[in-house]
Structure 1
Amino acid sequence: MGEQGTVKPCKHFNPERDAGLLYGNLRGLASDSSYSAIINILSKRSSAQRVEILFGYHAMYGRDLIQDIKSGLSGDFQQTAASMLLTPAEYDATSLYKALKGLKIEARVLVEILLTRSAEEIKCMKESYSVKYHRSLETDIEQSCSGNLKTFLLKIVAEVRDGDETRTSADISKRDATVLKEISHANVDNLLDILCKRSYSQLNAILECYHALSPDCDIQKKISSEFHGEFKDALKSQLKVIESKPQFFVEKLYRSMKGVGTDDETLMRIIITRCEVDLRDIKTSFQATHGKSLSKFIEGDTSGSYRKLLLAIVDQ
């Protein structure tokens, strides 16, 4: 659990009591007070505690809490509440499956999830994917994606990234920065090896070295000139994640609420998946970037109990 998360474990946690409160409020008449009770429990328990409630609910009542939420609630409020009862790995696996198996491949969702998770988190989501869908994540990426994007994503899910963020090598930085200077279709494999295998601290050092070697050649512009389509977008996203993961999510959140309509899938996915990791950092960066708090954006773009649940998560 990240120090910069907004949601922390409840100190006086009682899963049986919480299960009883959820049971009573889901089976009673729909009201603001029953919805508030549900929001209070879900937003003030860690993911691990919510899973305990899920099992306790089944043990006490012989019922599936997620199914009862789907029956008793509606709309985006229902979807957010149900998603919060999945483990992080289960939620990622579900999101990846929807992105791969919909009418159109949602590359931006695949990129967002796979490029911002650790090797251990990817290992867990792969296991959840296999258990839930009886097929491997690699197989579905292989079948649904193509070209360099497929190669990139398969390298990511191979869990080969160095997880040691405590050390960097000046020699590696200089050597890899030289490779980045020569980015082209001809050496794309070398580029992907760097992006997929180096630790994030090493990648930061590599980019600093690149900027020193090529002060007049912006790497984002270089990628835009050499590559195209979803692969280009994935590479640019990877660079943004290297530079600042919170800022990467700030941009995603802003776009989800900018203009007419709201991309609720993206909004709820980022709030749920980052609330125990770095949502405080994301909030700070959002305010600094847009001169308005994340909460104010959410207030203006959502409504009802869905809005109250998101704000309860964000504003802790």
Structure 2
Amino acid sequence: MNFDCNADAEKIYNACKGLGTKEEDIIKVIGNRNLAQRHQIRLAYFSKYNKDLLDVLDSELSGDFGYLSRSLFLGPIQVLAMDLYKIFKKTGSAGGDINDIICCLSPSEITALKAAYLEVLNYEGVKDKARSLEKDIEKETKGQHRDFLLKFINTNRREFTPEEIRSVASSGRWDMLVDMQQVERNATAIHDATEGKAGKGNEVEVTRILSTASALDLRAMYDHYRDVYKVSMVDAISKAFKNPLRNAYNNVIMTAVDLRLLLVAQLYNAMHGLGTDERTLSRIFTIRSEIDLHNLRMLFQEKVGRSLGEMVKSDTSGDYRSLLLTILGEK
């Protein structure tokens, strides 16, 4: 498909001018472009019409459809920062939603998120200059959940290159990059902190380990735990702790073990049962469309036994559904 940012900018302009908005015309453009192309469209729109396209979309589109449309013009970390701002704005709602964002990030991504969050606060006109991601977590969460999140975002965990991770994962030689004696000690400590402690696990000990271990430490720990205790570390934690702390712990572990499987679970949970979690759908579709949404779609079918597109069709409606399906390549 030939790409012309000026032609796309004009199509969106024509879809928005006059009475009424031609939403389908907007969907055809933004749903079939990648992030870099949408950035070019935004620049072209400003150059031609002297208006920020995001402001135009904000005034023309509403609800989940409007939010998703604007999110498609933002980078992944910007999307996460905006989502967190919306979550914290809704006092008392910071639980699983915040875990699904923060607990799935690497240390470098968290550093970028802190900066992006300050930019969102500035963009939204927040006058309290003392506010930050850390301060908002402190205010909107409580107890051991708050303690874990604050430790997690402020601990300088070791990071590895994708090549290093692939090399170790394919060979199973964790000892090439991690201290296996420490891994084994930590696995034992988690077992002692959870075994026979239904709903009353040792939060302090598990928080200490999961907030400081690198992704490869966690991957090796997960395998060692399963080999020694014949049970999943995630299952052990699920029995010993209650949400939202349980969800935070398990998100950290599963991000290290199999992020795609975790994302499939989040997508399924967003649509399963009564109600739909549109914010989670929008976040995953927006960010993973640039990475591996096609692979997630196939894994979803394999694990759930139902196509992702089918669930989107049955659980969403209108222009929002149309844009999701376009991003998914099913419209």
Check whether TM > 0.5. yes
1:176 paired residue number: 186
Aligned to 2:323: 309
Alpha-carbon separation, structure 2, partners of 1:222 and 1:283: 29
- Once the two structures are superposed, the pairs formed by residues 68-147 of structure 1 within 5 Å of their partners are 68-133=56-121, 134=129, 135-147=131-143
Gaps of 5+ in 1: 1-9
Which protein has greater RCO, CA pairs closer than 8 Å, 6+ apart? 1
Report the Cα distance in structure 2 between the residues aligned to 1:198 and 1:55, rounded to whole angstroms: 42
Asked if 1:208 is matched to 2:189, the reply is no
Question: 199-208 vs 182-191, which deviates more?
Answer: 182-191
* Counterpart code for 1:307: R
Q: Secondary structure at the match of 2:193?
A: coil
The answer as to 2:285 corresponding to 1:271 is yes
Q: Match for 2:278: what amino acid?
A: D
Match of 1:282 in 2: 296
Q: In structure 2, give the amino acid aligned to 1:181.
A: H
| Distance in 1 (alpha carbons) for counterparts of 2:201 and 2:59 | 54
Deviation at 1:244, TM superposition (A): 1.9
The structure-2 alpha-carbon separation of the partners of 1:159 and 1:173, relative to structure 1 and needing over 3 Å to count, comes to: closer
One-letter amino acid matched to 2:246: K
**Alpha-carbon shift at residue 218 of structure 1 (Å):** 4.4
Percent pairwise identity: 31
Written as runs of structure 1 = structure 2, the 5 A alignment for 1:159-308 is 160-164=156-160, 166=164, 167-183=177-193, 188-215=203-230, 217-308=231-322
Shift of 1:313: 0.9
Cα deviation 1:273-308 (Å, max 9, x = unaligned)? 222123223212210122111011111122222212
**Deviation, structure 1 residue 111:** 0.3
Using the alignment, how far apart are the partners of 1:268 and 1:304 within structure 2? 15
Aligned partners of 1:204 and 1:242 also within 8 Å: yes
Contact 2:92 2:140 in 1 (8 A): no
Task: Give, in angstroms, the shift of residue 150 of structure 1.
Answer: 1.0
Q: Distance in 2 between matches of 1:124 and 1:62?
A: 30
Change (3 A) 1:186 1:303: closer
**Mapped contact 1:19–1:54 kept (Cα < 8 A):** yes
So what's the TM-score if we normalise by structure 1? 0.85
Deviates more, 1:135-144 or 1:191-200: 191-200
Which region of structure 1 is more displaced relative to structure 2, 183-192 or 131-140?
183-192
Give the TM-score normalised by the residue count of structure 2: 0.82
Farther off after superposition, 183-192 or 121-130:
183-192
1:155 to 151, 157, 169: 151
Cα distance in structure 2, aligned partners of 1:75 and 1:105: 19
1:161–1:198 Cα contact (<8 Å) kept? yes
Query: What SS class does the counterpart of residue 163 from structure 1 fall into?
Result: coil
